[in-house]
Amino acid sequence: MRKAILFLFLAVPAFTGCASLTIRAVDYSWSFESVFTADSSGYVRAEPKTIAFDARELFRAETNDPAGAAGAVVRMIRDSDGYYFITSAGFKHVYIFTWSRAELSLKKRVLIAEQGMTKPYFNRRPLGIELVANGQTYLLNRKGIIPGDKK
């Protein structure tokens, strides 16, 4: 009985050290967009390695041609909430993804230009992600274009 009480007495402080730890007010944003060139099989990776993924599914969703990913430039940025914004020249849309273990899941597809975008690029701004394409500027968040912020 004494051994059991002694064990509990010693174990309680040890288990309290295993309590979950939460760090709040984390800013997941990237200061600059990442620009990737897909390899011949459509795979993009950053150096130093921050993310790597197969862009063919993205091109399949946008153009119905996964082979179009080969050699394409893919632009990506991450906002403060951890959402990824991805597009490429010629795309009509910006794709907004959430992350989970070993995958990106589409949250929203935002139509930007029916004719496709030329020279799109992203910037991080205090209120969201800025997209510049076709001479227009758009402010985006995880829900899409922030109303009234298209210039």
The predicted structure's pLDDT at residue 21 = 77
CA distance 13 to 11: 6
pLDDT tens across 29-67, in order?
Answer: 887 888 989 999 999 987 766 788 999 999 999 999 999
* Domain range annotation of the chain: 25-145
The predicted structure's pLDDT at residue 22 = 67
Which residues, 6+ apart, have CB-to-CB distance to 76 below 8 Å? 33, 34, 36, 51, 84, 85, 86, 122
Residue 4 scores a pLDDT above 60: no
pTM of the model: 0.79
Three-class DSSP category at 112? coil
CA distance 106 to 60: 14
CA distance 77 to 28: 10
Q: Regarding predicted confidence, which is higher, 43 or 2?
A: 43
CA distance 86 to 46: 14
> If you average pLDDT over every residue of the chain, what do you get?
85
The predicted structure's pLDDT at residue 150 = 52
The predicted structure's pLDDT at residue 30 = 81
pLDDT tens across 81-123, in order?
Answer: 999 999 999 999 999 999 888 889 999 999 999 999 999 999 9
Under DSSP, the state recorded for 50 is S
